[in-house]
Amino acid sequence: MALFSCPDLLFSLLVLLLSLLCLVKLRSSNMAALPREWPLVGMFPSLVANLHRFHDYSTAFLAASGGSFVFRGPSLSGMRFFFTCDPANIRHIFVSNFTNYPKGVEFAAIFDIMGDSFFNADGESWRRQREKVQHLVSSPQLLTYMAWCCRDKVEDGLLPFLSRSSHAEVPIDIQELFTRFTFDMTARSVFGVDPGLLSVDMPPLTVPNAMEAVMDVGFFRHTVPASCWRFMKRVKVGPERQLAAAQLELRRFVAEMLEKRRDGPVHVDEVREERNEEIVSSYLHDPEYSDENGRPNAFLYATLINYMFAGRDTAGMSMTWFFYNLIKHPHVVSAIRVELAPIAMHKAATSTGNNHMVIFDPEETKPLVYLQAALFESMRLYPPGPIERKTVMADDVLPSGHRVQRGETILIALYSMGRMEGVWGEDCHEYRPERWVKEDGKLLHVPSYKFLAFNAGARSCLGKHISVVQMKSVIAAMVWNFDFEMLTRHVVEPKPSVVLKMKNGLLAKVHKRRVE
């Protein structure tokens, strides 16, 4: 890689200096909904001033501009983003003209830890990898194994932890709890190994923290000129130094998991007599994922890291925000319990054990409409991935009438789309699961280009069904067996990141529920 030239560095420093001067002036005046454009530095100072509240900030200027907005950064920096949350544009980008809007090389550079895996891939490579993933997630053996992993982790990890916290009357961080739960769950599904983050001793979150750093620095790379973060990466300073350490930790973890798997089953998985069908087993003997000596290559490492992010982030963030909404809306909790009651009563009547905890299997919660409506309503307002990024391959005109040019970057604001009156109505800011239930009691179908939590079109999430049924079974067990009360004066707000994590966690008290 060539060294950065002196003009590049001087330009970056000049942009930073001018941005700071404009930022001082911005903070001394009333900020309008639309970003102000300054000479030379463009709208960059407005972005910096609102970075701490980026998702709400972008929602405000998209609402003021009719759902689409062109953001221009410093001159010569290449920062020119077309923001949109217009469903017609999204349908065009994700479905009608899909091949014209790949993720692009800059996206792959931002998330370089994912290498050439399906998270970054475009074109033929992406199609080939997607076919392999599709074959995997349709395997009855894998689905059975994942369902068992989920139930086992709920029964032996999640519910006992909540019970101990309830007896000790100690507040918990629900976000951290789901981080531990989903990390263990995902590692078992991918590697067949349980890292034990939800064990009684509660080990440090070393690897999940590394994953969080990847997403935080990924967001940082989106918000500064590419020349800036590339220079910082070169000299390993600031967030780029943190990212380098995180990437090493993730690769170390994958190597450790592969080694443990080679040594034989560990933890609770060893009690299973039937052959486990974990994800990694489909890759180990594929020559594309091995070097000339048959050892795992960089492509396999990147692919397995990709699976860890895909499995952990969607479910973990979605369930955290879901419980935030439940705590604020007790009537929704009551409605979910009414729906769960027939299943719970039947299980209690046929149970022969002394365990007073009720555990719901995925197949039991699968037909529950209101529970799924409540989950989707939470994901509408708080999508686990609040922004999608695309690159324009050839000049095009979007349904909104905006022209986009080859090489331009498009940012699709999922968080903002859930808060647009023109998309969801005047009550768009309200958490109201009933909007998802039809008059006949069935779940309302909402087009994916309007509800983008699981992506849309050719890149729709292949694990959507698995993720939804698992989340419903986990939520059901927690809602039926426990009550949750948020700590007084605890502030909940999104963290500026590629995933919609809470900045201060979700601190709550847990109370064991008495069911008469």
Annotated binding residues, as ranges? 461
| Long-range CB pairs of 136-140, under 8 A, 24+ apart, other chains included | 136/279, 136/282, 137/462, 137/463, 137/466, 139/277
Distance CA 121, CA 114 (A): 9
Annotated binding residues for heme, as ranges? 461
**Mind listing the pLDDT tens digit of every residue in the chain (516 residues)?**
344 445 555 455 555 555 555 555 545 444 557 888 888 888 988 888 899 999 999 999 999 999 999 999 888 778 899 999 999 999 999 999 999 999 999 999 999 999 999 999 999 999 999 999 999 989 999 999 999 999 999 999 999 999 999 999 999 999 999 999 999 999 999 999 999 999 988 999 999 999 999 999 999 999 988 988 999 999 999 999 999 999 999 999 999 999 987 765 544 444 444 445 799 999 988 999 998 888 999 999 999 999 999 988 889 999 999 999 999 999 999 999 999 999 998 887 776 555 678 999 988 999 999 999 999 999 999 999 999 999 999 999 999 999 999 999 999 999 999 999 999 999 999 999 999 999 999 999 999 999 999 999 999 999 999 999 999 999 999 999 999 999 999 999 999 999 999 999 999 999 999 876
| Identity at 92, one-letter amino acid code | H
User: Who's near 386: CB < 8 A, 6+ residues apart?
Assistant: 55, 413, 414, 415, 494, 498, 499, 500
Q: Indicate the burial class of 143 (C-beta count within 10 angstroms; 0-12, 13-18, 19 or more).
A: middle
Give the bridge partners for 42, in sequence order.
Answer: 38
Q: Looking at residue 263, what is its pLDDT?
A: 65
Provide DSSP, 444-477.
PP--TTTS-TT--GGG--TTHHHHHHHHHHHHHH
Helix then strand count (H, E) for the chain reads: 19, 9
Q: In the chain, where are the structural domains located?
A: 33-265+273-512
Distance CA 266, CA 299 (A): 26
Angular region, 407: left φ>0, alpha ψ -120 to 50, beta rest: left
Q: Looking at residue 36, what is its pLDDT?
A: 87
Distance CA 181, CA 199 (A): 10
* 59-88 per-residue burial string, b: 16 or more CB within 10 A, e: under 16: bbbbbeeebbbebebbeebebebbbbbbbb
Q: Phi, psi (5° rounding) for residue 193?
A: -125, 135
The CATH code belonging to domain 33-265+273-512 is: 1.10.630.10
| Among the listed residues 247, 236, 184, 237, the one whose alpha carbon sits nearest the alpha carbon of residue 214 | 247
Please report how the helices 298-328 and 174-191 are oriented relative to each other, as an axis angle in degrees rounded to 10.
150
Give the bridge partners for 388, in sequence order.
Answer: 412
Q: Looking at residue 119, what is its pLDDT?
A: 95
Q: Looking at residue 75, what is its pLDDT?
A: 82
3-state secondary structure labels for all residues of 218-232: HHHHHHCCHHHHHHH
Q: Report residue 457 as tokens.
A: 């079109």
DSSP state of 427: T
Give the bridge partners for 508, in sequence order.
Answer: 172, 486
**Is the Cβ–Cβ distance between 190 and 280 less than 8 Å?**
yes
Q: Looking at residue 3, what is its pLDDT?
A: 42
Provide DSSP, 102-154.
---HHHHHHTGGGTTSTTT--HHHHHHHHHHHHHHHT-HHHHHHHHHHHHHHI
CB-side neighbour CA atoms (13 Å) of 259: 6
Q: Looking at residue 177, what is its pLDDT?
A: 97
